[in-house]
Each structure stands twice: as C-alpha cells, then as structure tokens.
Amino acid sequence: MKAMQVRNVGGPDALELLDAPRPEPKANEALVAIKAIGVNFIDCYFREGRYPAQTPFTVGQEAAGVVEKIGSDVKTVKIGDRVAYSGTLGAYAEHAAVDAEKLVVIPDGVTFEQAAAAMLQGMTAHYLCHDTFPLKRGDAALVHAAAGGVGLLLVQMAHAIGARVIGTAGSEEKAQLARDAGADDVILYAKDDFAMETKRLTNGRGVDVVYDGVGRTTFEKDLEVLRPRGYLVLFGGSSGAVPPFDPIVLSRKGSLFLTRPTLVHYIATREELTMRAAAVLDAVARGALKLRISKTYPLADAAQAHRDLEGRRTTGKLLLIP
C-alpha cells in the first residue's frame, strides 16, 4: 500500500510517499480501507518534530473508511461498517490498523468526506464550548481564526448555545464566512487591533472566554481582552509556540484562568468518544452543523496541503484522498 511517511522531521518536504506493508490487525484492532483523510495542524506538529514520534512514521490522525478485517477480540465494529476515527497516528495511507475502541460508525446521511472533515475539528469545537469552558446563553466569546476548520464549527456551536460570538479573521472574505456561520462581530486583525476592538465591542468589560488556536501572535493580547476571572483556552499554536511566562501575570490581569487542552483527554473513554462523535456527526446528518470542505488533494500532494494550511491560505477543512 501507499503511505505518506516521515523519515527525518522537518518542513513539508519531509513528507514522502512510500510503499509500506499493509498492516495486519491485532486482536483488538480493525483494518480500515481509508477513503478520506483529514488534514490538521497536529499533523504539521508531528512532521516538524514539535510532537515527538519514532521515525519513520506515517503521518495523520483522522480518517474515514470501511472495515475490511477485524481482530479476534473486536466487538464494537464488524466487516463492512463505514467508520471514522481520530487520535491514532498513521492516517495518511491507503489502509490503517486502528484500535476498534477508537472507531465510530458513520451514521446514514454522512459521507466519508464529511466524516473525515468532522471528527477531529468537530469534536474539538464540541469539547471547547461544552466542557473546557461551558458556554451559556449571553456569554461573550472571542474566537480566533473564526473562518478556519475549528473556527467555523465553534462559531456555529457557540451561536446555537446563544453566546455572543466575536471572531477574528484575516480577510473580508473570511470575515463573511464567519458571519455566515453565526458570528455577531468579526475583527480583521490585519486592519484593526483585536484587543482594542474587543474592548470596544464589549464596552470595556471584556469577554468571558477566548478560544485561541493561533498561539504565539495572539496570546499576549488575549490576556488584555478577558473580564476578571475570564478563561483563556489555548487549544493550538498555528503561529508558533507561546513563550514561557510568569503565572503572576494571570493575577495581575484579573485572576485569569489559562488552560491548554487537547482532544485526547476529552475522548479518553469509549463512552465519551461515542457521545461526542455522535453529537457532531448527527448534527451534520441533520444539517444543523455545516461543514466547509475547502479543498481535497490526492494523497501524493500532502506536502502541498501542509503548505496551504500553514500559510493560512485556506478556510474550513482540507482532505486527502488515497
């Protein structure tokens, strides 16, 4: 089979399409013939070595496909099931052996492409606004990169809860996408200082929560826009890692809370995984959650997909097709 592997960590050119043996599922695993693969910033973090992995390794954390073979202990899926998963390294390939406990069955009315587009980013948006900082009607939230993959889904979910959503975006086109998703206000960060605008839009109060997947370039000003005892939820670092800082800053800014969550801890049990995946995929099936698949690439073009993602030239989701 073909697999996109990294032998030496680095930039997008570190991705190599190689021939690899088709995996044989262990007793607790299922062999999945992959039909669509989600491209995410975490893939870039592994590729560049920010998240360590034993080389060589196959990149990718999210995919959808069909179960072709199951191990002797597997009870949760069967051969022929349409399934999706997130959080298992090795998705940039034609086949993957996946712990069956991490597979969820795709509901009727949801395509492979939609499932691959919704799992990681959809469940991330879900835990951010339902668990990390549970939004309530009337809360004010600042969502950075509101037209990005997580951003568009998070804006929709926050709007459905009844929160006031202030988004940031890099262009008027992206700003309109965020408005269409339910953002009440959108700040063009290349044109306006988002901290000053957020303060203005909230009459100086600040927001209850900042959802930030950007990191280095936004972090310092995030601390300026929160109301006392507000929450900074730093769930990614598309602009780079945040430098070390003294936690005393949090008290000086108003006894703020800072958390750096990641999806794996919010789908740690089979029960939580199936609950969260069902909430997202069922909403997609009903049309209550709109996915924006920005572009699909052949698996062989994974390096270009990474360049486009890291260059902030995309909106919504990128997919690879084996």
In what helix (H) or strand (E) does residue 37 lie, and over which residues does it extend?
strand 29-39
What's the rounded Cα separation, in Å, for the pair 16 and 3? 8
Quote the pLDDT of residue 175.
96
Closest CA to 184 of 213, 156, 219: 156
- The pLDDT of 54-69, averaged and rounded, is 97
From the candidate CATH numbers 3.90.180.10, 3.30.110.30, 3.30.9.10, 3.40.50.620, the one assigned to the domain spanning 2-119+267-321: 3.90.180.10
2-119+267-321 and 136-260, same CATH topology: no
The two tokens of residue 178 are 């965020």
Assess whether pLDDT exceeds 80 at residue 248: yes
H-type helices in 79-131, by residue range? 112-127
Stated as kind and residue range, the H or E segment containing 79 is none
Angle, helix 149-161 to helix 112-127, in steps of 10 degrees: 60
In angstroms, how far is the first alpha carbon of the chain from the final one?
A: 10
Q: Would the CA dihedral through 92, 58, 7, 213 be positive or negative?
A: positive
192-234 per-position pLDDT tens digit: 999 999 999 999 999 999 999 999 999 999 999 999 999 999 9
CB-based contact 197:186 (threshold 8 Å): no
pLDDT on residue 239: 86
136-260 CATH: 3.40.50.720
State yes or no: pLDDT of 141 exceeds 80: yes
Each residue's pLDDT tens digit, 148-203: 889 999 999 999 999 999 999 999 999 999 999 999 999 999 899 999 999 999 99
> Average pLDDT, stretch 37-43?
94
pTM: 0.92
Three-class secondary structure of residue 258 per DSSP: strand
Interacting residues of 289 by C-beta distance below 8 A, sequence separation 6+: 118, 122, 153, 156, 157, 280, 283
Burial class (CB in 10 A: 0-12, 13-18, 19+), 121: buried
Contact 213, 150 (CB under 8 A): yes
DSSP state of 40: -
Q: Could you tell me the residue ranges of all domains in the chain?
A: 2-119+267-321, 136-260
Calculate the average pLDDT of the chain: 96
Q: Token pair of 271, please?
A: 């029960």
314 pLDDT more than 90: no
- Residue 212, amino acid: D
pLDDT band at residue 240 under the 50/70/90 scheme: confident
What is the structure's pLDDT at 190? 87
Q: Is the pLDDT of residue 288 over 80?
A: yes
Confidence at residue 295, expressed as pLDDT on a 0 to 100 scale: 94
Report the pLDDT averaged over residues 229-251. Answer: 93
pLDDT at 7: 96
- pLDDT of res. 312: 74
Q: Pick the closest to residue 12 from 43, 52, 37, 58 (CA basis).
A: 43
CA–CA gap between residue 245 and residue 270 (Å, rounded)? 36
DSSP state of 243: P
Strand 62-70 with 95-99, pairing: unpaired
Q: What is the pLDDT of residue 12?
A: 97
Q: Across the chain, which distance is largest between two alpha carbons, in Å?
A: 61
